[in-house]
Amino acid sequence: MQLNAIQIILVVLVSFLAGMEGILDEFHFHQPVIACTLIGLVTGQLLPCLILGGSLQMIALGWANIGAAVAPDAALAAVASAIILVLGGQGQKGVGSAIAIAVPLAVAGLLLTILCRTLATGIVHIMDKAAEEGSFRKIDFWQYVAICMQGLRIAIPAGLILAIGAGPVKAMLDAMPTWLTDGLSIGGGMVVAVGYAMVINMMASREVWPFFAIGFVLATVTDLTLIGLGTIGISMALIYLKLSKSGGNGGSSNDGGGSSSNTGDPVGDIIDNY
């Protein structure tokens, strides 16, 4: 698929915003489900990119920065794979291959992340000197420079992929044998399952498991639409938040000896005191 000039500019803009949000984490443009959807929206390939974003989001849920360990770059994975999917012109059939391509791209993106963070260290020292001088204008300027650098971390690779063009990308994807594309699709599905399993492993508790069970049961009901499932999910989340707030104020209860029964788990306290 060939993109016109306006589409290319919008794709680069989305890539730039995704890179900045990887640090700001305010509007979540760096999340795969949002970045891929926006790229699909500006390129006219909304449905394939939405499916790709949802699949990558399940993988990215298991990625987290822990201590000095930096997680793979979800923003670069989402943006690059979405652009490749659009340029390849395979539609929904190319989602499996795009997912398989996204994982190594995310790992490769760590190099750019480390480079930007190394440069940001020098910018911090410059801002320290500006603070000693009492120059708020310089502090703001270098803050903008550092944030824009994070945006370019994604925008430049996106621009390079767009510069290659649809022809070579489509030729590369078409040259893949059937056994390879099928294997990539199966592998991509397995990676999604592993990412979701990691999330469950981190979140699993006796209070959360019932919500998981109810969700899986409701998903088997064929008459329910995605809007219906989403409404049920939001309702369950609101119930959980209400119980959590109620349990947070219940720390003054005692077991007869004057000691508090608040264990730090509000919902668990409600269940135990019921």
Does pLDDT of 67 surpass 80? no
Position 144 confidence tier, pLDDT thresholds 50, 70, 90: very high
Token pair for 178: 């059937």
Token pair for 168: 């070579």
Q: Which pairs count as long-range contacts for 255-264, CB under 8 Å and 24+ apart, including other chains? A: none
Position 259 confidence tier, pLDDT thresholds 50, 70, 90: very low
The mean per-residue pLDDT over the stretch 49-57 comes to 88
Name the residue with higher pLDDT: 193 or 66: 193
Q: List the Cα angle 72/74/80 in 5-degree steps.
A: 115
Does pLDDT of 66 surpass 60? no
- pLDDT tens-place string over residues 76-99: 889 988 998 898 877 888 887 787
Q: Where on the phi/psi map is residue 64: left (φ > 0), alpha (ψ -120 to 50), or beta? A: beta
Burial status of residue 13 (CB atoms within 10 A of its CB: 0-12, 13-18, 19 or more): middle
Decide: 196 and 61 in contact? Cβ < 8 Å. Answer: yes
pLDDT of amino acid 13? 95
Does pLDDT of 123 surpass 90? yes
Does pLDDT of 147 surpass 50? yes
Position 230 confidence tier, pLDDT thresholds 50, 70, 90: confident
Does pLDDT of 255 surpass 60? no
pLDDT of amino acid 253? 45
Task: Show the 3-state SS of 115-140.
Answer: HHHHHHHHHHHHHHHHHHHCCHHHHH
pLDDT of amino acid 166? 63
The residue among 218, 222, 252 whose CA lies nearest residue 236 is 218
Instruction: Indicate the SS3 state at residue 239.
Output: helix
256 phi, psi to nearest 5 deg:
105, -25
Sign of the alpha-carbon dihedral angle for 160, 164, 170, 173: negative
Token pair for 121: 């260290």
Position 242 confidence tier, pLDDT thresholds 50, 70, 90: confident
- pLDDT tens-place string over residues 7-45: 999 999 999 999 998 888 788 888 899 999 999 999 999
Instruction: Provide the whole-model pTM.
Output: 0.63
pLDDT of amino acid 36? 92
- The Cα–Cα gap between 255 and 243 comes to 20
Q: How far is CA 46 from CA 35, 102, 190, 261, in A?
A: 11, 18, 24, 51
The residue among 166, 145, 173, 147 whose CA lies nearest residue 8 is 166
Q: Which residue type, as a one-letter code, is found at position 273?
A: N
The mean per-residue pLDDT over the stretch 123-149 comes to 92
Question: DSSP secondary structure string, 152-174?
Answer: HHHHHHHHHHHHH-HHHHHHHHH
Average pLDDT, the chain: 78
